[in-house]
Amino acid sequence: MSRGSFAFTPTALRSLAVDAEMLERQRHSRQTAASYRGYMLKKEARERAARRPSAPSAAAPVPPAVCQDPVVQNALYTGDMEVLQQLFPKGVRVNMVIEPQGGDMRWMAEGDGLWSLTYEQELTTPLHITASRGFSECLGLLLQRGADVELAPGGNTALHEACEDCQPECAKLLLLHGANANAVSEEGLMPLHLCTQPQSLECSKYLLQYGAAINGRTVDEDDTPLHTAARSGLPEHAELYLRYGAQVDRPNDEGLTPLNAACAQPQDATQLERYFRVCQILIGAGANVHTMDQDRRTPLHMACKNANPDIVELLLANGACVNDMDYGGEAPMHNILKAVCYKISHQPERVVRALLNHGSIRVWPGALPMVMKHCSESPLTIEVLLNAYSRLKVTDSWVEAVPPESYQAHKDFYDSVFALAQTSRSLQHLCRCKIRTFLEGRVHSVVPKLNLPTFLKNYLLLDYRGYVH
C-alpha cells in the first residue's frame, strides 16, 4: 500500500454503497422529470396545433405540467382549501410535476472527487402531497378536477403515499376514483406492502375491499403483505390478511416465512407483546415452527437472539426443537447467551430457563467464567445456568471474570457463587439435579403434573432465588 493511500473500513464501504444507491435513484428521478418535461413540450405543441380551425374537435390527453410556483406549493403543503379552489377552478390543468425545494441534506458526489452538501429532492404531484398529509378535502377537489390517480413521477402513486403515511380517508378517495390497488412502485412495492404501522389498518381494509392481491410479492425480496405485517409486529393486520386467504407458510427469497420474519425482527422491550401476538396468530393459523431459513436458523434461534421470552415459550410449547444447530453450529442457547448483556430488560433469564427445562444443551463448564463476564449484569440468568449443574469447580478465574461494578451491584448473589469454592452444593440442589437428569427433556411436561407443593415444582423448574446454594 502506498504512503498516500488508506484502507477503507467496512463502515466506509457500506456508506459508499449507500451513497451510490442514492445517486442512482436521484439520476433516475432527474431522467423521469426530463422525460415528463420533454413529453409536456411536445404535447403542448400538438395541443396548440389542435386549436387551429382545421384541427379536429377531439382533444389529446393533457400531459402533466411542471410546477415551480411557490404559491401553489405552499397551498398544497398547508392544505389551504380556499386558495386551492382559486388556483384550480374548473377546466384548469391539475396534473403537474412538482420538484420541492428543501428537505433533508446529505453529501453528494459531483465528480472529480468533489462532494457537496445538497438538499434531497424528490418529484411529486399535488395528489401525492395532499394524500400523504391527509388533506382529504383538497384531495377530493383535485380528483374532481380530473387529477390522474396513477401519476407517479417519483416512483410511487398517490395511493402508495396515503398508505405509507396512514391516511385511510385519502386512500379510500383514491380507490373510489379508480386508483390501482395493486400498483407497483419503483421499488417493487404494492400499497399493501407500505401498511407498516398500526394506524394503517383501515388503509389495508380499503385496499383489500378494492381488490388488492393478498399474496402479492415485492420485487426485491419476494415478501407478501403477511411478511410485512409480521416483520412490523402488526397482529391486527396479520389477522386481517389471514381472513382474506394469506398463505401462512410461503417463504420469501431468503427462505423466511412470516413466522421467521416476525421472530427475526429486532424488538425493543415495548414491542415484545406485539410480536408475541403476531406469532400466536400465525401459529394458530398453522405456521410451521420448524421452518429454516437459508442459514438453517429456525424461529426459535431468532426469538432467542431477540430475547423474547413469550415467543420462546410459545414456540417450545408447539414443538420447536431446542437443540437444532444452524450452519454456524449454534443452538438457540448460544443465541440467547450472546444477547443477554444487550437485552437485560427483556428478562433473558426466562428464555434460558425455558430452554433448559425443554432439554437444551448446557454450557461447557470451562466456559462458565466467560459466560459470567458477558452476563454479569443479569445475575438471574447466571443463577439459572449454574443450577443446571450438580457440581461446579469455582476458581479465581470466576472472581476475576465479574466486573467490579457488577459485583458491587449484586454483591450478595456473587458472594454465594464464590462461596462454592470452599463448599459443595446443597443436598436439596443435588436431589433436584437427580430428578431433572431422570426426566431429561420432559421436565417441563412432567413436573407440573406431580402431586407436589407449588414451591417445590417451581424449584424443580429452576425458579429464581437470588442466590445459589
Q: Distance between CA atoms of 32 and 119, rounded to whole angstroms?
A: 18
Q: Can you give the pLDDT at residue 28?
A: 56
Dist CA 237 CA 198 (whole Å): 8
Do both 84 and 202 map to the same domain?
yes
**351 lies in a domain?**
no
Report H helices in 318-367: 332-339, 348-357
226 and 191 part of one domain: no
In angstroms, the CA 304 to CA 290 distance is 14
Question: What's the chain's Rg over C-alpha atoms?
Answer: 30
Q: Rounded to 5 degrees, what are φ and ψ at 241?
A: -65, -40
| Burial class of residue 81, CB neighbours in 10 A (0-12, 13-18, 19+) | middle
Out of 210, 231, 256, pick the residue that ends a domain.
Answer: 210
If one counts the domains in the chain, the total is: 3
Short-list 237, 297, 285, 236, CA closest to 261: 297
Whether 265 and 285 share a structural domain:
yes
pLDDT score at 72? 87
Give the range of the structural domain holding residue 157, as residue numbers without chain letter: 64-108+117-210
Residues 69, 206: one domain? Answer: yes
CB 436 within 8 A of CB 443: yes
Smallest CA-to-CA distance from 163 within 228, 222, 220, 103 is with 228
Same domain, 158 and 291: no
- pLDDT for residue 444: 94
Task: Report the SS3 class of residue 98.
Answer: strand
Residues 181 and 88 in one domain: yes
End-to-end Cα, the chain, rounded Å: 59
Q: How many CB atoms lie within 10 A of CB 136?
A: 19
C-alpha cell at position 369:
467464567
Whether residues 468 and 374 fall in one domain: yes
- Is 402 within 8 Å of 372 (Cβ atoms)? yes
Query: 20 in a domain, yes or no?
Result: no
* Cα–Cα distance measured from residue 65 to residue 40, given in angstroms and rounded to the nearest whole number: 6
Domain assignment present for residue 333? The answer is no
Angstrom distance (rounded) from CA 465 to CA 469:
10
Domain co-membership, 171 together with 254: no
The single residue listed with the C-alpha cell 470452599 is 422
Which residues on adjacent β-strands are paired with residue 109?
Answer: 115
Per-residue pLDDT of the chain (469 residues; tens, 9 = 90+): 444 444 445 665 666 566 666 666 666 555 554 454 444 444 444 554 454 444 444 445 556 778 778 888 889 989 999 999 998 888 888 888 887 665 555 565 555 566 666 655 678 999 999 999 999 999 999 999 999 999 998 899 999 999 999 999 999 999 999 999 999 999 999 999 999 999 999 999 999 999 999 999 999 899 999 999 999 999 999 999 999 999 999 999 999 999 999 999 999 999 999 999 999 999 999 999 999 999 999 999 999 999 999 999 999 999 999 999 999 999 999 999 999 999 999 999 999 999 999 999 999 999 999 999 999 999 999 999 999 999 999 999 999 999 999 999 999 999 999 999 988 899 999 999 999 999 988 999 999 999 999 999 999 999 999 999 9
383/462 same-domain check? yes
Predicted local distance difference test score (pLDDT) of residue 48: 46
Residues 395 and 441 in one domain: yes
Looking at the structure, tell me whether residues 387 and 255 fall in a common domain: no
Domain membership of residue 54 (yes or no) is no
CA distances from 233 to 38, 125, 217, 261, 289 (A): 44, 32, 19, 10, 17
Q: Which of 102, 101, 31, 99 is nearest to 66 (CA)?
A: 99
Residue 335 lies in a domain: no
Amino acid identity at 217: R
Please tell me the predicted confidence (pLDDT) of residue 418: 95
Report the distance separating Cα 323 and Cα 340, nearest Å: 19
CATH classification of the domain holding 92: 1.25.40.20
User: How many H-runs (helices) and E-runs (strands) does the chain carry?
Assistant: 24, 4
What is the distance between the alpha carbons of residues 454 and 387, in angstroms, rounded to a whole number?
A: 19
